[in-house]
């Protein structure tokens, strides 16, 4: 197991954070501008880790040093964040990234310019310290996923008690809401009676499958991804895959952005490549909608925009899509100049997706029901 999945004690977290301050201090003592060293975070610096079977940052490092005003400010912010996290850990509190952004108002020159600045910095600190955001007591703003299906979790509630929840019987129509922390100290996977887990991009399709009783008919758990899935969503899928040995099936729109959603689930996202082995589910399968499906099912489609085409081109040079099947799909899409939504299946009626499309697609990969 890597450094990330090993839970760290408070002291270890503070010590790793102080390592950042130490690098700066040592430089200054030697008469040099303070620095912070971190990997380059772009698609040019992600590579497939054969051992972990996910995409990780490569060897390219960037040194952020205080020779320009922008990076000097970023260094100062890191120190303010370090101080802030130390205080939170000692006080037993946590805060959202957004709260930290507002707290930075009082940090003078260490104040964040935008929320994005603070999010990026939290990721930088994770990378440099090999700690998790959760270790820093920083919570994301993003929504966790919803789950419906015959699976049972135990979640520790606010009072510190473990609560057992079956995601079919104990929840309403909106399903079980995944908390931001899905590590073992907060969430346990208890039992399941499903054959696979299906991750769905859009809420409309998720609700359609729930209404049609697809989870019971097909013996599966349904997860609503809510667009680009939050870390906790990807993490819980990874845990279900690891601990229950269930296949993860991804069902999304057919457009370049949905492909990226899949890539982040299956291979890791570029922004979080430092913790890919902890978030990515290597066996995840892209079920549809594929470019072939648009033709095979004669689905209503939209023209690709300029941005779509740029995104597709970018994917052709993205190492995560460097497989024959993906290249074929992407090139086919470019050729057609079309994209389609999941809900375009409604062309053939509300039940078409559960009666025809999904059974056919699942059967093709050996998941008959």
Partner 1 sequence: MVDAKEISSKQKQIAVSEFFEKNKHFLGFDSLQRSLITAVKEAVDNSLDACEEARILPNIRIHIDRLKGGEIRLIAQDNGPGIPRDAVEHVFGKFLLGSRFHAIRQTRGQQGIGITGVVMYSQLTTGEKTKVTSKIASDSSAVFVDIGLNTRKNRAIKSREKRDVWFDEITGEVVEHGLRIEARMKGKYQRGKQSVFQYLRMTSIVNPHATINLIVRDSDGDVYEQGSWNRTTNRLPRVVEEIKPHPHGIQLGTLQRMLRESEERKMTSFLRHNFSGVSMRAAKEILSRAEINENRSPKRISTNDAHGMLDGFQNVKLLPPPTDCLSPIDDLLIKKGLSKAIDSRFAATVTRIPTVSQGNPFQIEVGLVFGGDLTADGPIEVLRFANRVPLMYQQGGCALTKAIESIDWKRYGLDHPGAKGLPKGAAAVLIHLASTNVQFTSEAKEAVAENDEVFEEIRRALLEVGRGLKNHLKKKAQRKKAKEKFELINVILPEISKKTSKLLGKPEPNLSPVITQIMNAVFCEETLGWDSQQKLATCLIEVFNYTARARAYTILVKWPESDTVKMAVNPLGGRKEARGIWAWRIETINPGCSTTINIGLSGLTKGDWADTDIFFRGNGDIIGATKIDEKLLEEMRTTESLNAAQNEINEQYSEKEVDHLIQRADSAAKSELDSQLIDAPPPESHSSSIQNGEPKISDYLTEELE
Active site residue 102: yes
Q: How far is the CB of 65 from partner 1 (least distance, A)?
A: 9
d(CA 342, CA 198) in angstroms, rounded, equals 14
Check if the beta carbon of residue 65 is closer than 8 Å to that of residue 78. no
d(CA 350, CA 300) in angstroms, rounded, equals 15
The size of the interface with partner 1 (CB under 8 A), counted in residues, is 27
Q: How far is the CB of 118 from partner 1 (least distance, A)?
A: 17
Question: Which is the catalytic residue, given 4, 102, 267, 278?
Answer: 102
Q: How far is the CB of 186 from partner 1 (least distance, A)?
A: 29
Q: How far is CA 349 from CA 13, 99, 147, 344, 361, in A?
A: 54, 46, 25, 10, 17
Instruction: Please pick, from the candidates 13, 38, 46, 66, the single residue that binds partner 1 as defined by CB under 8 A.
Output: 66
d(CA 169, CA 172) in angstroms, rounded, equals 8
- 66 vs 299, which CB is nearer to partner 1? 66
Check if the beta carbon of residue 254 is closer than 8 Å to that of residue 202. no
Nearest to 145 by CA among 222, 256, 254, 67: 222
The two three-digit tokens of residue 204, written as one number:
């409309």
- 109 vs 271, which CB is nearer to partner 1? 109
Q: How far is the CB of 120 from partner 1 (least distance, A)?
A: 18
Q: Does the protein bind partner 1 through residue 11 (CB under 8 A)? A: no
- 128 vs 223, which CB is nearer to partner 1? 128
Instruction: Please pick, from the candidates 28, 190, 295, 316, the single residue that binds partner 1 as defined by CB under 8 A.
Output: 28
Instruction: Please pick, from the candidates 8, 13, 16, 34, the single residue that binds partner 1 as defined by CB under 8 A.
Output: 34
Instruction: Please pick, from the candidates 29, 105, 173, 303, the single residue that binds partner 1 as defined by CB under 8 A.
Output: 29
Task: Report the DSSP pairing between strands 196-200 and 248-251.
Answer: parallel
Kindly tell me the sign of the dihedral angle through the C-alpha atoms of 245, 246, 247, 249.
negative
Q: Does the protein bind partner 1 through residue 22 (CB under 8 A)? A: yes
Instruction: Please pick, from the candidates 3, 83, 99, 183, the single residue that binds partner 1 as defined by CB under 8 A.
Output: 83
Instruction: Please pick, from the candidates 44, 68, 191, 305, the single residue that binds partner 1 as defined by CB under 8 A.
Output: 68
Q: How far is the CB of 84 from partner 1 (least distance, A)?
A: 11
- 28 vs 365, which CB is nearer to partner 1? 28
Q: Does the protein bind partner 1 through residue 18 (CB under 8 A)? A: yes
- 18 vs 188, which CB is nearer to partner 1? 18
- 69 vs 91, which CB is nearer to partner 1? 69
d(CA 92, CA 180) in angstroms, rounded, equals 17
Instruction: Please pick, from the candidates 55, 80, 176, 326, the single residue that binds partner 1 as defined by CB under 8 A.
Output: 80
Q: Is 203 exposed, middle or buried (0-12, 13-18, 19+ CB in 10 A)?
A: middle
Q: Which residues bind partner 1 (CB under 8 A)?
A: 18, 21-22, 24-25, 28-29, 31-34, 66-69, 72-73, 75-76, 79-80, 82-83, 86, 108-110
Q: Looking at the annotation, which residues are catalytic?
A: 102
């Amino acid at each position: 197991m890597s450094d990330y999945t090993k839970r760290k004690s408070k002291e270890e977290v503070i010590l790793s954070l102080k390592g950042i301050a130490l690098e700066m201090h040592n430089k200054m003592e030697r008469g040099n501008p303070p620095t912070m060293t971190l990997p380059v975070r772009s698609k040019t610096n992600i590579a497939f880790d054969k051992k972990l079977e996910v995409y990780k940052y490569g060897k390219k490092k960037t040194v952020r040093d205080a020779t320009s005003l922008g990076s000097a400010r970023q260094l100062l912010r890191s120190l303010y964040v370090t101080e802030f996290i130390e205080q939170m850990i000692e006080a037993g509190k946590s805060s959202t990234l957004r709260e930290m952004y507002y707290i930075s108002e009082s940090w003078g020159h260490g104040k964040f310019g935008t929320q994005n600045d603070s999010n990026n910095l939290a990721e930088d600190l994770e990378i440099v310290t090999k700690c998790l955001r959760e270790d820093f007591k920083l919570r994301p703003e993003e929504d966790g996923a919803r789950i419906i299906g015959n699976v049972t979790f135990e979640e520790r509630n606010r009072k510190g008690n473990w609560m057992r929840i079956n995601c079919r019987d104990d929840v309403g129509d909106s399903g079980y809401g995944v908390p931001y922390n899905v590590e073992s100290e907060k969430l346990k996977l208890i039992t399941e009676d499903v054959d696979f887990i299906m991750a769905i991009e859009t809420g409309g399709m998720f609700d359609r499958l729930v209404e049609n009783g697809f989870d019971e008919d097909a013996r599966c758990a349904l997860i609503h991804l809510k667009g680009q899935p939050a870390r906790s969503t990807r993490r819980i899928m990874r845990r279900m895959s690891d601990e229950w040995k269930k296949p993860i099936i991804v069902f999304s729109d057919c457009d370049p952005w949905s492909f990226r959603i899949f890539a982040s689930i299956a291979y890791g996202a570029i922004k979080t490549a430092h913790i890919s082995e902890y978030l990515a589910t290597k066996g995840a399968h892209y079920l549809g909608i594929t470019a072939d499906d648009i033709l095979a099912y004669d689905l209503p489609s939209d023209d690709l925009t300029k941005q779509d085409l740029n995104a597709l081109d970018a994917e052709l040079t993205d190492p995560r899509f460097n497989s024959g099947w993906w290249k074929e799909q992407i090139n086919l899409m470019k050729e057609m100049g079309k994209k389609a939504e999941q809900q375009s299946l409604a062309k053939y009626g509300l039940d078409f997706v559960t009666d025809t499309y999904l059974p056919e697609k699942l059967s093709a990969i050996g998941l008959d029901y």
